[in-house]
Amino acid sequence: MKKIICLILFSFITLSMFSCGESKQEESKSSVEVGSVTTIVKDIQAANGLNKGKTFTSESTVAGEYLDEALISSYYGNVLDVPNFTKIEEYCVYIEDFDTNLRIEIGIFKVINSNDNTMVSDFLKLRKERILEHARNYPSVDAEPFANVIIDTIGNYTYYVAVKENRTEINKSIREKLGA
């Protein structure tokens, strides 16, 4: 009798170990389909020689490598209106600001609820308007990347591409990686 009970227990333990392993594989398959937005942005940086700026990512916990409230307000908001980043599940933004007269930026934001894509699009449009207004006041500023910025939404992702060169190719690459 003890042998039968031990055999049954051993069977249940073995079965439960295999079933747990299968669900982990299934989870990793679904998360690999799109991949990390940080990986997507860094791949685009590497492919296009965008290495003179800063990369801010939700994956980092190191100060200066993620967007804190002050950076969110200065880049994407204004004194009265700051985007609610608690609605964003994941983000990665590359901002090339070594040349104050030229703004090169690429960013991907994944929202928790696709209804919040409008909020993300709105603050990206506000960013565009602020940079173009700054360029009108300072003629030496090259605002061409933001004059022709691409802002698009795919599923739970909203992204923007503000570059001088390879804009169409970068847009196509992001769309492919986000499954469009």
Q: What is the pLDDT of residue 32?
A: 33
Q: What is the pLDDT of residue 17?
A: 54
Walk along the chain (180 residues) and give the pLDDT tens digit of each residue: 656 655 565 555 655 555 554 443 333 333 335 679 999 999 999 999 999 999 999 988 777 777 877 777 777 766 567 778 899 999 999 999 888 889 899 999 999 999 999 999 999 999 999 899 989 999 888 999 999 999 999 999 999 999 999 999 999 999 999 987
Q: What is the pLDDT of residue 87?
A: 94
Longest distance between any two alpha carbons in the chain, whole Å: 90
Q: What is the pLDDT of residue 85?
A: 86
Angle at 61 between CA 161 and CA 113, to 5 degrees: 55
Q: What is the pLDDT of residue 61?
A: 74
d(CA 95, CA 91): 13
Phi and psi based region of residue 53 (left: phi greater than 0; alpha: psi -120 to 50; beta: remaining): beta
d(CA 62, CA 83): 21
Q: What is the pLDDT of residue 24?
A: 38
Q: What is the pLDDT of residue 27?
A: 35
Residues 6+ apart with CB under 8 A from 179: 33, 34, 154, 155
